[in-house]
Structure 1
Amino acid sequence: MPDFLALNGKRALVTGGTQGAGAATVALFRDLGAQVMTTARKPPGDLTDDMFVAADLTTPEGCDAVAAAVRARMGGVDIIVHMLGGSSAPGGGFAALGEAEWQAELALNLLPAVRLDRTLLPGMVVQGAGVVVHVTSIQRLLPLPEATTAYAAAKAALSVYSKSLSKEVSPNGVRVVRVAPGWIETEASVRLSERVAAEAGTDLDGGRRIIMDSLGGIPIGRPSTPAEVANLIAFLASDLAATITGTEYVIDGGTVPTA
């Protein structure tokens, strides 16, 4: 019996693929037979030059360098997973967000996808096939005013851009989908849980509970794992999802209270 899910022969680019859900996606794609290039500002120790491009994707020059490497090393691309994202904005609500903070959130969470798509997607259109996965966030639906206003707004912009793009290129055989994670328990989120726990005088599980409560609760009682997010992305990028385009798939343990 053939494998249920395979990406044999597919050429994939995964941004932000050296940690968390990005690293899990890179590993799974390779296990499923894809040729995968990934990128981040600094290389981890276990990737060879052919697999990795060091670039700052918050700049046009960094995006151009990655696109050039995709063409030179893989001859094009069949799947793009825009995993890159995050927030460094301070707490304190809207008043704490100056011009620099807003520009930084857009530069990290929106513009790398726009720039890489603009450069690489025409090749997908020419070949008549391809998949683009934009990783958004449930924060676009559930922003936390104290801390994530700019991040949530940037992810909302990414979601709208993704939907518009899907309507334009799907008739040419290129599917565009969105994956919206909730809280993912990465190494960074574990450190956050530890810090919250220490501040509250509780243990690690107590720290997790405080974070889950701040999100309005997670009905399944835990965050998603990076591997679970990668599983969803792999399915959507595969031929099994051949008629899925223009939609968003939430993976949040039930955090968002409405459909």
Structure 2
Amino acid sequence: MDRALVPAMIAQGAGVVVHVTSIQARLPLPEATTAYAAAKAALSVYSKSLAKEVSPKGVRVVRVAPGWIETEASVRLTERVAAEAGTDLDGGRRIIMDSLGGVPIGRPSTPDEVANLIAFVASDRAASITGTEYVIDGGTVPTA
């Protein structure tokens, strides 16, 4: 997509690229998602490089790194985890949160919350933001 769209953005001197990475680039789950985590880490590094290249030409590049998002697929995973553990949906959520090392807000984020963040970083209100990553994970990834 970048190869198709970024040249036109450069030509017009404006644009925003938003790459959706993942907290798994920093917090991989080796029992389940090593390849996914590696791909998201690579996307993050590529995004940093792209930002340095195209930001001086008027094109911003921003990364959004979701944590656990309660999508239809994650609900199915939660149901499967719950069934395997002999518990209910809330018990399945707790098992997943524990596997992540905890989610301080006590729940997964919603797709709308991620979409709202993406809409903000793509908007003119974020006109001076480029080359950075916004984590939306309910506090899952520890910070220093």
Fold match, TM over 0.5?
A: yes
2:83 & 2:58 partners in 1: Cα distance?
Answer: 51
In structure 2, the residue corresponding to 1:132 is in which secondary structure? strand
Higher relative contact order (CA 8 A, sep 6+): 2
Question: Counterpart in 1 of 2:125?
Answer: 240
Q: Within 5 A, what are the aligned runs for 1:43-82?
A: none
1:190 & 1:140 partners in 2: Cα distance?
Answer: 22
In structure 2, the residue corresponding to 1:142 is in which secondary structure? coil
Question: Counterpart in 2 of 1:192?
Answer: 77
How many residues align structurally? 144
1:119 & 1:188 partners in 2: Cα distance?
Answer: 29
2:5 & 2:34 partners in 1: Cα distance?
Answer: 30
Match of 2:109 among 214, 221, 224: 224
1:188 & 1:119 partners in 2: Cα distance?
Answer: 29
Whether 1:129 and 2:23 are equivalent positions in the alignment is no
In structure 2, the residue corresponding to 1:185 is in which secondary structure? coil
2:30 & 2:115 partners in 1: Cα distance?
Answer: 29
Shift of 1:148: 1.2
Match of 1:144 among 29, 42, 54: 29
1:238 & 1:258 partners in 2: Cα distance?
Answer: 27
2:88 & 2:39 partners in 1: Cα distance?
Answer: 33
1:235 & 1:130 partners in 2: Cα distance?
Answer: 14
2:4 & 2:72 partners in 1: Cα distance?
Answer: 32
2:3 & 2:88 partners in 1: Cα distance?
Answer: 47
Percent identity over paired residues: 89
Q: Within 5 A, what are the aligned runs for 1:64-213?
A: 116-213=1-98
Shift of 1:198: 0.7
- Aligned AA (1:163): K
More helix, by proportion: 2
Larger radius of gyration: 1
2:79 & 2:33 partners in 1: Cα distance?
Answer: 20
- Aligned AA (2:71): T
Please report the RMSD computed on the Cα atoms of aligned residues, expressed in angstroms.
0.7
Instruction: Note the residue ranges of structure 2 that are not aligned, 5 or more in a row.
Output: none
Shift of 1:126: 0.4
Query: Which of structure 1's runs of 4+ aligned residues deviate more than 3 A?
Result: none
- Aligned AA (2:98): D
1:211 & 1:161 partners in 2: Cα distance?
Answer: 29
Instruction: Note the residue ranges of structure 1 that are not aligned, 5 or more in a row.
Output: 1-115
1:192 & 1:148 partners in 2: Cα distance?
Answer: 13
Shift of 1:149: 1.1
Shift of 1:156: 0.4
1:199 & 1:144 partners in 2: Cα distance?
Answer: 19
With normalisation by structure 1, the TM-score equals 0.55
2:126 & 2:21 partners in 1: Cα distance?
Answer: 19
